[in-house]
């Protein structure tokens, strides 16, 4: 498993660019990368956008240290 930040860097995206792709604030991406809790729907959107950027299917469970609240 890899962290959100590792995968984002692999996709060559900034936190802001990933946020735009996921329709969330770049600060939300940064919070998620730092282990702070993010809303479930936002986490799903971030992971799906990251998967698209990487050309692979990703699920929230695939991301290490991603903390979610509902």
CATH of the domain at 20: 1.10.260.40
Q: In this model, does residue 32 exceed pLDDT 90?
A: yes
The count of domains in the chain is 1
Quick: pLDDT tens for 37-70.
Answer: 999 999 999 999 999 999 999 999 999 999 999 8
Contact, 28 vs 42, CB < 8 A?
yes
pLDDT value at position 9? 98
Domain of residue 36: give its range: 2-69
Contact, 65 vs 5, CB < 8 A?
no
Q: In this model, does residue 1 exceed pLDDT 90?
A: no
- What's the pTM? 0.95
Quick: pLDDT tens for 6-16.
Answer: 999 999 999 99
């Amino acid at each position: 498993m890899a962290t959100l930040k590792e995968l984002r860097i692999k996709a060559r995206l900034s936190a802001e660019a990933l946020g735009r792709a996921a329709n969330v604030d770049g600060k939300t991406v940064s919070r998620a990368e730092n282990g702070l809790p993010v809303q479930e729907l936002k986490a799903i959107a971030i992971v799906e956008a990251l998967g698209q950027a990487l050309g692979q299917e990703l699920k929230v469970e695939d991301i290490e240290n991603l903390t979610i609240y509902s």
